[in-house]
Structure 1
Amino acid sequence: MLAIGDMSFATKKAALEHFRAVLGRSKVGETIDGPDHGQLLALLNRHPDALAKIGVGVAHFIVDVAAFGSRCFVVVRADGSSTDWSYRTAVAGVGRSLLEEFLAAARFEIAPEMQAFKREYFDRYESGMAPCQTTGQMISIHDAHVDHQPPHTFRAICDRFLDDEKMVPSYEWLSAPADNQHSCRFTNETLRQRFIDLHRRLADLQIVEASVNISAGSYGYRSATKEEAQRGLFDDP
């Protein structure tokens, strides 16, 4: 049982579904009020960076559009400043490791090419529906993920990059947490371009149904654990 404020959820998955629904029904830029406000405040207090996110105090919450069209919650503070925050991280109650931050940064850097690949695939089909390249099921672009085919899965490419560069994830070349950053990013342009070049050289991409990709996991060596799936570590950019 997971308690968040005066709410109780049987599982973390149930909590994620609840707050995903709040995110989905809230209009971008409008103040979230009523019961949703209190629920989000209780959830934010579970966030591992709650003190920094809350700052001088919470005035209200809004929904904003993050990188590449995804939605996120934003806390507007009493002094007018604001920052984004992840409801997934708050439900999990733990922050991402440096390795997970690196994986997020790597996904951020290749996201434009991944999205272009998806658009080009669906542009071939006038109906707007295209076949999942794993199941053959017709799907819309909104229900599709870009998948890395083995052996060069996304995680395998990331591991190869670290091996080639003989380095471990570090804030010396990754951005530290900051307001409204949305995602960790490469701060070293040379390393950023090397990763993009390696990905272009190795990645063999395909379009699959989102539920198939998330359930299989995109690390390649194994399926996503329940915790990793809940925290969004396998989401398509």
Structure 2
Amino acid sequence: MRKEIQIGNKFFKFKKDALIYYKLILNSYKFGQSLCDDHFNDLVDLILYSPKHKTPYELENQIEEGNTQYPNLEIIDIKVSEVQFRTKCFEIFWNDNTSEYISYISLINRNEINYHKYFNSACRNCIQDDMIALKQKYFSDNSIKGFVKCQETKIPSKWDDLTVDHRQPNTFSVIVDRFKELNKINIEKIEYVTEENNIFIFADKKIVESFRLYHKEKANLRIVRKEQNLSRTNMARLKQSPKDLKIE
């Protein structure tokens, strides 16, 4: 028999019910608003529910009784903040003048830390400006009344219909993995920061620039329709083509 999920003094028959409950809380606030007392307590209960949850930019102590490493650490406020792409997120403010973002989904799912996921995410953010600049240049060079042709399907497409695709075999994940191997990176020791506009990035600027240059050298890129980007299995053995785009 399936057991109910208990978070604080609340019981949920299914995990999806807990996810819906905390999503409703998140969406009931505007950016920058502090949670009311009841919702504040709900979030504290959720943090206590999942003591295994950690992120690279969180304090690596658990919020529980008997914590002697940070005996005076207290949550003084919880707000709904804006992260990438105008996404809402809970932000915890501590009494030591620091703050951190938490994911209610990860807390409910009790996800263990995923070092590969964080590293890949930071790598993707390293090249975000380069990818946008490449797409802008392609539109500037090829746009006719706001439309350009997808490099795969030749369908005239608007900006929002297109994405920058890494051609195989040098997919983005392959480039990241090779970069880690070449630089002998221990991803469990990497530190991260959240920069302006809440961009999650490497704390060490040398890694940021090193990955940007490596990606620039290795990536063969195409501007393709988003649905075309979902299936690339037939391109695994293709060599570089004159039509491939390179970051300048």
Tell me what 1:196 maps to.
Answer: 212
Residues 110-125 of structure 1: pairs in structure 2 closer than 5 A = 110-117=127-134, 124=143
- 8 Å contact from structure 1 (residues 105, 184) kept in 2: yes
Residues 60-209 of structure 1: pairs in structure 2 closer than 5 A = 60-66=77-83, 69-77=86-94, 81-117=98-134, 124=143, 141=160, 146-171=164-189, 174-175=190-191, 183-187=200-204, 189=206, 191-203=207-219, 204-206=221-223, 208-209=225-226
Q: 1:92 to 1:29 in 2, by over 3 A?
A: same
Question: How many pairs are equivalent?
Answer: 210
What letter matches 2:102 in structure 1? W
In 1, distance between residues paired with 2:150 and 2:22?
A: 28
State TM-score, norm by structure 1: 0.62
Deviations for 1:56-83, whole angstroms, at most 9, x for unmatched residues? 3333321223356544220123565432
- For structure 2, the residue ranges without an aligned partner over 5 or more in a row are 64-69, 237-248
Tell me what 1:8 maps to.
Answer: 12
- Work out the percentage of aligned pairs sharing the same amino acid: 22
Structure with the greater alpha carbon radius of gyration? 2
- 8 Å contact from structure 1 (residues 27, 63) kept in 2: yes
Deviations for 1:125-183, whole angstroms, at most 9, x for unmatched residues? 867x9898889797874x87654343222211111212333444252xx21689x9863
- 8 Å contact from structure 1 (residues 104, 183) kept in 2: yes
In 2, distance between residues paired with 1:146 and 1:99?
A: 22
In 2, distance between residues paired with 1:167 and 1:160?
A: 10
Q: Pairwise CA RMSD of aligned residues?
A: 4.5
Displacement of 1:30 in angstroms is: 0.9
In 2, distance between residues paired with 1:121 and 1:25?
A: 40
- For structure 1, the residue ranges without an aligned partner over 5 or more in a row are 222-237
Correspondence for 1:58 among 63, 69, 75: 75
Correspondence for 2:47 among 3, 20, 44: 44
Displacement of 1:7 in angstroms is: 4.6
